[in-house]
Amino acid sequence: MAVITELSQLDLNGTYSYADYLLWQFEERVELIKGKIMLMAAPNVQHQRYSKRLALDIGNFFRNQQCELFIAPFDVKLYDSQKSKLADKEVFTVVQPDLCVICDKDKLTEQGCDGAPDWIIEILSKGNSKKETRFKYQLYEENGVREYWLVYPYEQAVHQFVLNEKTQKYELAAMFPGDEVASPILFPDLKIDLAEVFAE
């Protein structure tokens, strides 16, 4: 298969696999959602500031521990959590979460993560809120991401979703305002001062 160097060489209405994605060498950042190309906007300064602050808190917490933090751009291949690892040509979803924590080292590959991370954090931008709140919510739920945080920069709030093991559906565990201390259900000893995260 040929290497693709320009986004214009692709059919934006086509269906692609992770094997195709690995051949793309153009400048634009994209994700694959069930085989469909989703363009990614460049993050703004505010987004980067909040991402960096969260990463510092979370990264320090996991230093010298089994679990590990990864920061975008970082490929995460997603597929039904009931299936064993699939070949690249059988995987049709690859995303780049803003932040993700992975505890199973066997999921790590040269390219990124093969399977669902334990915890994903997405920071909303004005241009991507629909993708994060609808498509990715469903994706992360379907593929077994155990905890999912949505960060709302303009509202200065965090919504925390936790996967119910029986129903395999997300439940809203908390809605943290920007002046509270947030803590993941999976890692209750981790305390994140949102006032510091959202400080101007």
pLDDT-based confidence at residue 121 (cuts at 50, 70, 90): very high
- Whether residue 20 is contained in a domain is answered as no
Confidence at 80, pLDDT banded by 50, 70, 90 = confident
pLDDT at residue 28 in the model: 92
In a domain, 110, yes or no: yes
Length, in residues, of the chain: 200
Say which DSSP state 99 is in: E
Q: Is residue 132 in some structural domain?
A: yes
CATH number of the domain to which 163 belongs? 3.90.1570.10
Per-residue pLDDT of 10-26, as tens digits, reads 999 999 999 999 999 99
Centre a 10 Å sphere on the Cβ of residue 121 and count the other Cβ atoms it contains: 25
3-state helix, strand, coil in the chain (%, to 5): 25, 30, 50
- Does 89 map to a domain? no
Query: How many domains does one find in the chain?
Result: 1
Helix, strand or coil for residue 96? coil
Which domain covers residue 53, as residue numbers?
A: 43-72+97-197
Q: Which two tokens stand for residue 26?
A: 């153009």
Q: Is residue 18 in some structural domain?
A: no
Look at residue 109 and tell me if it is in a domain: yes
Helical ranges in the chain per DSSP H? 18-21, 45-61, 129-130, 137-142, 194-197
Report if residue 147 sits inside a domain. Answer: yes
Interval 134-158: pLDDT, tens: 889 999 999 999 999 999 999 999 9
